[in-house]
Structure 1
Amino acid sequence: MAQQQHQQGERKKKESILDLSKFIDKPIRVKFQGGREVTGVLKGYDPLLNLVLDGTAEFVRDPDDPFKLTDDTRSLGLAVCRGTSVVLICPADGMEPIANPFVAQEA
C-alpha cells in the first residue's frame, strides 16, 4: 500500500517542458493570448510559466488595425506575467520568420 502511494506521488510530480534558466537576466519577447506582446529582461519564473520581467515594454497596437502591432512601445517597468496567458517566449534578438514547409513554394 505504501509503495502504491509512493508511485502515485511520483506520477503527480510534473516538470515544465521549457528550461528558461538559460534566459535569466537576458532580454526576451513574450506573446500573450489576446495579441499583446512585451519585451523585457527575465528575472524569474516558476513551473507554471509565471514570469517576472524587468524593464518591460509593451508594443502598442495600430489604432486602425487592432491585429497589427506598431514600433511604438509603452514602458511598464517591472511586470509579473501570468503563465496561463503566455503563448510564446523567445529571445528578443533571435526572432525571425521561417518559411512554412507545408505551403507550395513558388518557383
Structure 2
Amino acid sequence: MAQQNKDLGSGSQAKPKKESILAVLKYLDKAVRVKFVGGREVSGILKGCDDLGSLVLDGCVEYQRDPDDNFRLTEDVRQLGLAVCRGTSVVVICPDDGMEEIGNPFVQD
C-alpha cells in the first residue's frame, strides 16, 4: 500500500500549461474585426476571451450585408454595444488597424 502511494506521489509532477492556439490576448483593449459562420461581421474593442475562442467585445458594431448579394457588405451598420461572441461560431479574428479590403483576384473580367 505504501508503494502505491509513493508511485502516485512521484507521478504528479507539474506539467507545463499548454498555450492556446489563439494568440488574441495581445489584442486586449484594441479594435478587432470578427467574422462568423454564416457571413456576419462585427468589430469592437476586445475586452476578454477564453480557451474556447469566445470573445467579449465592447462598442460592437455589426456590418449589414446587401440583401441581393450576401457576400457584399453595405455601408449600413448596427450598433450592438457590449457583445459576447461564442467561440464555436467565430471564423476569423483580425486587428482592425491596417485592415483593408482587396478585390477578388479570381473574378474574371
TM-score (norm 2): 0.75
Q: Distance in 2 between matches of 1:91 and 1:2?
A: 46
Q: Distance in 2 between matches of 1:71 and 1:54?
A: 21
Shift of 1:54: 0.2
Shift of 1:24: 0.5
| Matched residue, 1:19 | 23
CA contact (8 A) 1:38 1:59 kept: yes
Gaps of 5+ in 2: 1-6
The alignment partner of 2:26 has SS state of helix
Gaps of 5+ in 1: none
* Bigger-Rg structure (1/2): 2
| Matched residue, 1:72 | 76
Q: Distance in 2 between matches of 1:68 and 1:30?
A: 16
The alignment partner of 1:22 has SS state of helix
TM-score (norm 1): 0.77
1:1-107 paired onto structure 2 within 5 Å: 2=8, 6=12, 14-96=18-100
Q: Count the aligned residue pairs.
A: 99
Seq. identity, %? 64
